[in-house]
Amino acid sequence: MVSHNILKKYFEQLETGLKNKLESKVTARRKFVYEIARIGSRIFENDWSIAWTTVFVPYEILNSMSVSGMFVEFFGAMLAGTGMSSKYLNLSESKGFSTDSCSYHRTIIGAAMDGLLPEPDVLIGASIPCNGGVKALKRIGEIFDKDVFILNIPIEVTPDAIDYLTDQYKEMIKYVENETGRKLDYDKLKKTIKYNNQARGYLIEANNLCKNVPCPANSNDLKNFIIYVLLQGTEESVEVAKLFRDEFKFRVENGLTGLSEEKFRLMWIQNRIQFKTDILDILEEKFGANIVIDELNHIWWEPMDESQPLKSLANRMITHPIVGPVERRLEVITQLAQEYKIDGAVNPAHWGCRQTAGARVLFKDALQKIGIPLIHLDVDCVDQRNYAPGQIMTRLEAFLEMLSNY
Amino acid sequence: MRRLHDVWKRYVPTKFIHILDIPMGNLSLGSKYLENEFLKLKNALEKYTSTPIKEEDIKNAIDIYNISRLLYNQLNSLRMEDPPLITAGRLMEITSDFFKIEPDVWNEKTRKLIKEIKSETTKAEQKKNPRILLSGSPLHEIEFIKFIEGIGLNLVYEDLCTGSKFFDLNIKESNNLIFSLSEAYLTRTPCARMMQIEERAKQIINNSKKFKADGVIHHSLKFCDTYLYDVPALKKILGEHEIPVLFIESDGGLGDVNQLRTRVEAFSEMIKN
């Protein structure tokens, strides 16, 4: 067993290190990671309660209640990035968790078993994107003898469905109030919507700037930007979004590009590979291949109504492209491919992910219709134990060679 | 399942496809939502068949299905005897028929069958073997059930959505039958997808006692997250109640039959000792 003090130290050191770097030079990426590190640190502060969640829960509500949310997939990714996932995968597997399930989830279950996670005050799981995430949260809850509040995300966009999810958010607030003793500050919640709308505007601008050929960003600038959800509805989220917009705008206006010579523009589907690997560096340096858009970085929702925060949040969730029949997602993938003028798409097809594996053939079909090739890497994005970099690189090289003849 | 719906729609020409969103979590909000989902399904079926579904049609269907449930339970209770008066393989064939023929025809056939079995002079189809409750993912392969019985285990209860659990539904009489149906489906013995492992484990323990099971085989289909994630927790709970558990994973068929045989035989030996 380890102590969660290790985690506390990790976030503190990350925060301090980035703070020092920010004092010498502010970059959007640096500021972004710094703010995430601050969220990591604050789970150990008395002013905040802790929520372990799945990825798609309304952090605006939690932030308004001084509850620091952490989603399990982020944590699995972070442990992979620090080289600790193998230890926790071994541990959870030794207790009977199947190697066919998602390694993001198995990693955090192992970490919870080992005592790395601080005790949550609340656990909140949403039915989207997957049942596996809710199940993982249930198992983590059992370790702390706590149950999980489940949000059922309706799969059709109808007024009734939005009301249903809004009512569930109200129930969730009651649950968090009961468990933490922290009351929702409704004015604060309204303010989160205002921040969200401001940040949304900047992010759309930043993304649009990446449509330039060549792209002002490189493959790493907006890597794993999905974790931005942790900041949603905060003043800091607006600062981060504005920094990205300003940085990309400056680069475009000054003829600066993400890569010195951009030969291939790629779209990445779903999540990146989380453990340390140099494949993206090789792709950039050797082949001039740049990831100009990540599917999950797309801003899909309309501006939100400050006077109806819960309904607006419900509407944003239900209209997410990953909710409901795959057509919605295919439409977005196709739209992104065209708008960002990509040459090819990469789907890691993360082992254990029913969303990417289940729809893989449909991704390929949809992109083929508009003449864009797609490669499925069939890689486990968190479990490094069976990773064969040579094999993956060979396939990517062949893919890029094919693109050059396309 | 949602992705299956997507792929099916794209590659398998099928005249009627409808996705039913079954909620988990909060019951009071969920039953209202499921009522709406059932109404949408009803409307879709009416449109597809060009036939209106009246309240009395639903009432009649519930009545017929209630008889089926009663008959199934009568048939199932024959397995409380030791040795059981009907094999799991035979029972599963009968259950499987239910999904293929008209329910009232099935009811008639099953009624006759119960009479026949009860009047048979040589009652036992099986020997006195260790008694097993089978739980886990839906199973459609009767061969799989027969294989386990062939090893010398008597399967006395199937806690499966394709077995006893399917017939375990209690619909309240009311003037809003669609709502009664939604409540019934959400409050029935939960499968792993409904995220209520304590309730699920409780039912397994109760049925193990009721059917005098010596052990539980928990089967999960490959890649079936909802069941796979339950395995460690379920094993722990059943272990606390001193119920031996064997976990097996398969694709529903008998592809890895020898490995499976070794494991089931070892489990059988362990129970006998």
pLDDT greater at residue A219 or residue B259:
A219
Confidence of residue B75 (pLDDT cuts 50, 70, 90): very high
* Confidence (pLDDT) at B252: 75
* Confidence (pLDDT) at B140: 85
Confidence of residue B242 (pLDDT cuts 50, 70, 90): very high
Residues near A247 by beta carbon (within 8 Å), at least 6 away in sequence: A27, A28, A216
Question: What residues of B are in the A interface, CB distance below 8 Å?
Answer: 2-7, 9-10, 19, 21, 23-26, 29-30, 32-33, 36, 193, 195, 197, 220, 222-223, 225-226, 228-233, 235, 247, 249
Q: Identify the structural domains of chain B with CATH numbers, from first to last.
A: 1-51 (no CATH), 54-272 (3.40.50.11900)
Q: For domain A187-404, say whether CATH 2.170.16.10 is its number.
A: no
| Structure confidence by residue, pLDDT tens digits, B126-143 | 788 999 999 999 988 889
Residues of B in contact with A150 (CB under 8 A): 24-26, 195
The closest of B263, B10, B16, B248 to B141, measured between CA atoms, is: B248
| Structure confidence by residue, pLDDT tens digits, B145-196 | 999 999 999 999 999 998 888 999 989 889 999 999 999 999 998 999 999 9
| Structure confidence by residue, pLDDT tens digits, B32-51 | 999 999 999 999 999 999 99
Q: 3-class DSSP state for residue B72?
A: helix
- Residue with token string 């997939």: A73
Edge-to-edge strands, sheet with A264-268: A289-294, A264-268, A344-347, A374-376
- Residue with token string 């080992």: A114
- B76: pLDDT strictly greater than 60: yes
- B125: pLDDT strictly greater than 90: no
Residues near B143 by beta carbon (within 8 Å), at least 6 away in sequence: B253, B254
Angle between helices A235-253 and A28-42 (to 10 degrees): 160
Which tokens is A391 given? 């094999």
Q: Please check whether residue A169 is in contact with residue A318, taking contact to mean a CB–CB distance below 8 angstroms.
A: no
Q: Do A150 and B193 touch (CB under 8 A)?
A: no
Residue B228 has its nearest CB partner, among A101, A325, A359, at: A101
- Please state, in angstroms and rounded to a whole number, the distance separating the CA atoms of residues A340 and B4: 30
Q: Please check whether residue A374 is in contact with residue A345, taking contact to mean a CB–CB distance below 8 angstroms.
A: yes
| Residue A126 burial (CB count, 10 A) | 27
* Confidence (pLDDT) at B123: 57
Domain boundaries, given as residue ranges, for chain A: 49-184, 187-404
Distance from CA of A321 to the nearest CA of B (A): 14
Which tokens is B262 given? 């070794």
User: E strands of B48-148, at which residues?
Assistant: 131-136
- Please state, in angstroms and rounded to a whole number, the distance separating the CA atoms of residues A147 and A403: 50
Distance from CA of B247 to the nearest CA of A (A): 10
* Confidence (pLDDT) at A405: 81
ipTM of the complex: 0.91
Q: Which helix H or strand E contains A299, and what residues bound it?
A: none
Edge-to-edge strands, sheet with A122-126: A67-71, A49-53, A122-126, A149-151
What does the pLDDT average to over B238-251? 94
B84-98, B122-136, B252-266 — which one is most confidently predicted on average?
B84-98
Q: Which residues of chain A have pLDDT under 70?
A: 1
Confidence of residue B258 (pLDDT cuts 50, 70, 90): confident
Which tokens is A384 given? 């490094």
| Structure confidence by residue, pLDDT tens digits, B191-218 | 999 999 999 999 999 999 999 999 999 9
* Confidence (pLDDT) at B124: 57
Task: Say yes or no: do domains A49-184 and A187-404 share a fold.
Answer: yes
Mutate which of A150, A318, A323, A327 to disrupt the B interface (most B C-beta within 10 Å)? Answer: A150
Residues near A140 by beta carbon (within 8 Å), at least 6 away in sequence: A52, A72, A108, A109, A112, A117, A120, A123
Whether the bond into A129 is cis, omega within 30 of 0: yes
CATH class, range A49-184: alpha beta
Burial of A147 (0-12, 13-18, 19+ CB in 10 A): middle
CA nearest B249 in A: which residue?
A98
The full length of chain A comes to 406
DSSP string, A44-63: TSTT-EEEEE-SSS-HHHHH
Q: Do B21 and A154 touch (CB under 8 A)?
A: yes
Q: Do B29 and A138 touch (CB under 8 A)?
A: no
Q: Please check whether residue A300 is in contact with residue A376, taking contact to mean a CB–CB distance below 8 angstroms.
A: no
- CB half-sphere exposure, B102, CA atoms < 13 A: 3
* Confidence (pLDDT) at B118: 83
